[in-house]
Amino acid sequence: MDSKLVQNKQMAMKRSDLFEKCLKFTKAKEAMAAGLYPYFRVIESAQDPVVYMNGRRMIMVGSNNYLGLTNDPRVKEAAKRAIDKYGTGCAGSRFLNGTLDIHVELEEKLARFMRKEAALIFSTGFQVNLGVISALVGKDDLVIIDKMDHASIIDGCRLSFGETRKFKHNDMNDLERILKTAEARGILIVVDGVFSMEGDIINLPEVVKLARQYGARVMVDDAHGIGVLGATGRGTCEHFGLEKEVDLIMGTYSKSLASIGGFVAGDADIIHYIKHFARSLIFSASPPPASVAAVSAAIDIIEQEPERLERLWKNTRRMLKEFKEMGFEVGPSQTPIIPVIVGENETAFKFAMMLQEEGVFANVAVSPAVPNGRALIRTSYMATHTDEHLDIVCDAFRKVGKALGII
């Protein structure tokens, strides 16, 4: 046999199989076999306060549909009209053939809504953070992020050519420590407005103060703040009265805005630059017409019906009070995202499945997404939950919490 062929065969035998890690991953299958797997559950209805699984009625407290607009007849009708006029897709990117008049109109509406000069829409919220951060942060720049920022922010930092540094969660002293040691270069601070697991709010006034003191720019990912915080639902920046001081505001449609996609809003020159350098915009297919029209209709409803925001906060205040009175630990939550801390990962899996048996759908967060020993049931509320819905939720949590010895 040819010596080179023998050598290649020996090398191939030594080389590990790329798929070996897949075969060794058994945790999920073990949880499935034990009836404790809480992911990829199949829902057979719209994201309303009541959903159906396997034909069974469930109270949904695991959705980000904060204002209850994803199944609103006016939003659905707007989407249908857009399909009738434009079809189901754009067959190209925004950069080339995929910009429709409704894309431009939505960008103008979002800019007005966010009280900024300009806005730019992307096909997903994840792509916004990937595109904006990697476009702005170059090899000589520094991006500073909160340790608990969303995964899309972390991945956007990885795609940039700059240095990334993390500060302790919502710790302004640690943020200043990093800023003090930063050399003279461009600095972007990126923070979540509302943190998606524990529902707490960034100390934005101090972030802005430090940014101005040290010559940094500020970007707020307000995916869970828009439609929730602020006197008119415009988010974390409105909540603190800092809309003019924050340089860039990012938002998604998949929470309060009833669709899928995302946007960034800011000064016109900055948005113009991002428009020409964000790879996730330039090399991705354009947002479909139905999605764009749905978001536009949702914004109109938010502005016309402020009572939705009032109902959302009425439900939020009630559930925070109920959980505390039952004896649950709810962490630092200040928003409709209310975590119930249960301890170990296996306890969280059991808790979620037992809730499901009681007719309640809630989400699970376990390590490494949360610290060890701090596994939680993530609940979130809608303006459209009724008192009767919440009564069922409270009864289920009380029963399961006592059964597992948590309360």
pLDDT by residue (tens digit) across 275-308? 999 999 999 999 999 999 999 999 999 999 999 9
For the sheet with 375-380, list strands across it.
Answer: 337-343, 375-380, 363-365
Question: Judging by DSSP bridges, how do beta strands 337-343 and 375-380 pair with one another?
Answer: antiparallel
**Mean pLDDT (whole number) for 37-51:** 96
At 63 the pLDDT is 97
Q: Which one is catalytic: 224, 350, 385, 389?
A: 224
Our answer to whether residue 224 is catalytic in this structure is yes
Q: Determine what percent of the chain falls in helix, strand and coil, rounding each to the nearest 5.
A: 45, 15, 40
Alpha helices (runs of H) in 160-288, residue ranges in sequence order: 172-181, 204-214, 236-240, 268-277, 279-282
User: Does residue 167 carry a pLDDT above 70?
Assistant: yes
Give all domains of the chain, ordered by start, each with its CATH number: 30-60+306-403 (3.90.1150.10), 73-304 (3.40.640.10)
Contact 377, 340 (CB under 8 A): yes
User: Does residue 11 carry a pLDDT above 90?
Assistant: no
Rounded Cα distance, 61 and 380, in Å: 5
Cross-strand pairs, 249: 220, 265
Please tell me the number of Cα atoms within 13 Å of 98 on its side-chain side: 21
Contact 216, 187 (CB under 8 A): yes
**Mean pLDDT (whole number) for 151-180:** 97
pLDDT by residue (tens digit) across 98-153? 999 999 999 999 999 999 999 999 999 999 999 999 999 999 999 999 999 999 99
Q: Print burial letters for 368-405: b (CB count within 10 Å at least 16), e (below 16).
A: eebeeebbbbbbbbbbbbeeebbebbbebbbebbeeee
Our answer to whether residue 255 is catalytic in this structure is yes
Rounded Cα distance, 58 and 227, in Å: 25
Strands (E), 168-308: 187-192, 217-221, 248-252, 262-266
Rounded Cα distance, 227 and 70, in Å: 13
Rounded Cα distance, 279 and 96, in Å: 13
Our answer to whether residue 399 is catalytic in this structure is no
What stretch of H or E contains 375? strand 375-380
Q: Which one is catalytic: 196, 254, 280, 284?
A: 196
At 12 the pLDDT is 64
Q: Which one is catalytic: 76, 103, 116, 255?
A: 255
